Amino acid sequence: MSLFLFLAASVAAAMPAKPANAVLSPGEIVSAAPAADWRAMAADDLLVMDLAADTAALPAAPPRRIVIQLLPEPFSQSWVGNIRTLAAARWWDGTSVYRVQDNWVAQWGDADGEDAAKAKPLPPGIAAVPESEYVLRPSATSRDVSHEELDMWLATIAGTHAAWHALTHKQARIKDADPYADETFFFRGWPLAASKTGPSAWPVHCYGSVGVARNPSPDTGTGTELYAVIGHAPRQLDRNIAVVGRVIEGMQFLSALPRGPAPMGVYVNPSERTPILSVRLAAQVPDLPIYEYLSTESGSFHTYAEASANRRDPFFIQPAGGIDICNLKVPVRRAK
């Protein structure tokens, strides 16, 4: 096997020792980031989904635990609130992953939800969310965001500031081009897009993003039927479906599930579905690690982003000169 493709592969690869003058890879830059550049994720934003063990796996498979970070204020909070209510009620316990479509999504929840006679009843307090909440507008931001942070992303919409924007425009070392939006940028560890007309900003669909399946407009989904993206970023869904979080650990337990043979990846036989043992908030899960992300407003992230867009580490011969918002993965780790 060619090991060097391996070295090009991973953001967090363990790397051999190098002379001091060697160009650092993105993974080495992340490994060298000071503790001050990492941010702990709020436990309130962590959703823990345990899937039934993979009985087919030999030797005995590890637990299939998937950890999802929910979007923090100020994005998608009405759906996130519903999801917290559903998790507190243990609503997903006993439901399943019922649909896995290649290069699209793995989707879970109530497989009988379309059948009113069989649908699982909802707990009290589930809100119907208007389509206006797919995007965030300045008038809708009177929430728990610091003035500094609010200024940052509002200014970004106006095209004048924010970490990602500063990097792409002021340093001009990353070609800033996105076919889906006027601007793409990172805010509090999340990839976002923005329109200067409006203005408005919204979370984007990337690999590992978690969204809310819905019925036809004006339905926006309650949050009971969730999906994780398991292929190339389906950005056409941005502003059409609510993004509510991202998988930060255990992604392979969704992305490597067998694809459903029926149209749209549906399993023909209910026995092919993957049972969900439980979905809980972090507060309900003993001994859950603390998770951290590399602050997208930190110097380390700037350096990591520039190095990711202009690969000069030894494997590469032709730096791209740019990178798309979904290909620049925000580093996440368990706290040391």
Can you tell me which of 71, 152, 243, 323 binds its own copies, judged by CB under 8 A? 323
In the list 73, 93, 149, 176, the residue contacting its own copies (rule: CB under 8 A) is 176
Stretch that binds its own copies, among 35-43, 145-153, 159-167, 251-259 (CB under 8 A): 251-259
CA distances from 161 to 20, 120, 157 (A): 33, 46, 8
Q: Which is nearer to its own copies, 2 or 146 (CB)?
A: 2
Measured from the CB of residue 17, what is the shortest distance to its own copies in angstroms?
A: 16
Q: How many binding residues for its own copies (CB under 8 A)?
A: 87
313 touching its own copies, by CB under 8 A: no
Cα atoms in the 13 Å half-sphere on the side-chain side of 262: 9
- Distance in Å, CB of 93 to its own copies, minimum: 17
Residues between 178 and 237 with contacts to its own copies, criterion CB under 8 A:
178-180, 206-208, 213-217, 221, 225, 227, 230-237
Out of 131, 138, 159, 285, the residue judged to bind its own copies by CB under 8 A = 131
Binder among 76, 77, 107, 300 for its own copies (CB under 8 A):
107
Site for its own copies in 57-76 (CB under 8 A): 57-58
Asked if 285 interacts with its own copies (CB under 8 A), we say no
- Evaluate whether 193 touches 169 at the Cβ level (below 8 Å): no
Q: Does residue 56 belong to the site contacting its own copies (CB under 8 A)?
A: yes
Torsion sign (Cα): 98, 101, 107, 112 = negative
**Dist CA 30 CA 118 (whole Å):** 49
Measured between its terminal Cα atoms, the distance across the chain in Å is: 32
- Report the residue number, 31 or 180, with the smaller CB distance to its own copies: 180
Contact 247, 67 (CB under 8 A): yes
Using rule CB under 8 A, residue 256 touches its own copies: yes
Q: Which two tokens stand for residue 124?
A: 């009290």
Nearest residue (CB) to its own copies, 20 versus 56: 56
- The position carrying tokens 């993965």 is 329
User: b/e per residue, 278-301, with b = 16+ CB within 10 A?
Assistant: bbbbbeebeebeebbbbbbbbebb
